[in-house]
Amino acid sequence: MSGVPGRVAVLDLEPVSSDFLAEVVTGLSRTPRTLPCKFFYDERGADLFQKICELPEYYITRTETKLLRRYAPEIAESIGPNAALIGFGTGAGIKTRLLLEHLQNPIAYIPVDISKQRLIDSAIELSHAMPALEILPVCADYLQELQFPKPLRKPDHVAVFFPGSTIGNLDPPVAADFLRRVCRLCGQSGGLIIGIDLQKSRAVLEAAYNDSAGVTAEFNLNLLARANRELGADFDLSRWTHRAVYNESEGRIEMHLISDADQNVHVGGREFAFARGEKIITEFSYKHTLEGFARLAASAGFREAARVWTDPEQLFAIFHFAVAE
């Protein structure tokens, strides 16, 4: 573990550049071509995503935060006292703090995020705000099997907090596998608090991922810029265009980078030829119904009957699932 100012130490399991290179080469060798969305979140990408969260079109963060401000006492009561809270992809930590401030005697908080600097900054800030709370940050890809640090005090149970509807980035079979691992992590007396973006009109969804200020486009293109910086790739960013479309039959936003010309790109000693109009898929973001997501969670070992909090327009929902008997 590496020491960090502010009374926190990070367990550093951050993917190395060889992992990034291998996944980029593999993704660009597929048909259709893909790049893994987990690599959006270098320091620049994390800053851009924070800006996205503040955009007028991007209702997701705003709506979930409002729900937490209103219902955090109820959610905390549903979780119960003496819990260790594990947070997946909690970013700046604003939503987590809303929850932690209402938990009765939280034993520890274990945030897990792939963006190391954002993880460090949020952990330090939280340690100043809640000095009695043990904070054990882990820099890692939370989709992988992980060993978590053990708190000094033994919790009565584990609560996993997964905000932001980030699970929408996973194809349903992968999401089910991930939820099964989370279910095992929770144990018999634990539970999962998860934010889910709900299905809605194409106009609202496509506006959220094609903002008028172009921040999402910059965020998407930063994936190519990161490959240039870290892998010595030679993507010409002026020859690529961001586009996000809603695939209604699959219930998902599909985020693409479109080649604006016939061009060749070099990465890791390999050459990749792109035709004009050819796309790289950089992210899927599945949108769920209340009933459909409850069934998905039940298939992974959670009780289908969950507590649910949602906004009046039913844009977004927060579920609390207990582990099935």
pLDDT at residue 111, as a whole number: 94
Residues 6+ apart with CB under 8 A from 312: none
The segment(s) of the chain belonging to CATH 3.40.50.150 are 2-9+58-200+288-322
Q: Is the peptide bond before 32 cis (omega within 30 degrees of 0)?
A: yes
Q: What pTM was estimated for this model as a whole?
A: 0.91
Q: Cα separations (Å) of 59 from 34, 173, 208, 274, 324?
A: 26, 27, 7, 34, 32
- Contact in structure between 282 and 24 (CB atoms under 8 Å): no
Share of the chain above pLDDT 90, in %: 82
Q: Three-class SS string for 79-98? A: HCCCEEEEEECCCCCHHHHH
pLDDT at residue 8, as a whole number: 63
Q: Angle formed by the axes of helices 172-186 and 290-299, to 10°?
A: 60
pLDDT at residue 7, as a whole number: 53
pLDDT at residue 5, as a whole number: 38
Q: What's the helix, strand, coil split of the chain in %, to 5?
A: 40, 25, 35
pLDDT at residue 102, as a whole number: 97
Counting as low any pLDDT under 70, the low residues of the chain are 1-8, 12-17
* C-alpha to C-alpha distance for 177 and 179, rounded to whole angstroms: 5
pLDDT at residue 325, as a whole number: 79
pLDDT at residue 16, as a whole number: 60
Q: What is the DSSP letter of 237?
A: G
Which position has the token pair 């997946």? 88
**Domain 2-9+58-200+288-322 class in CATH:** alpha beta
pLDDT at residue 14, as a whole number: 64
pLDDT at residue 2, as a whole number: 37
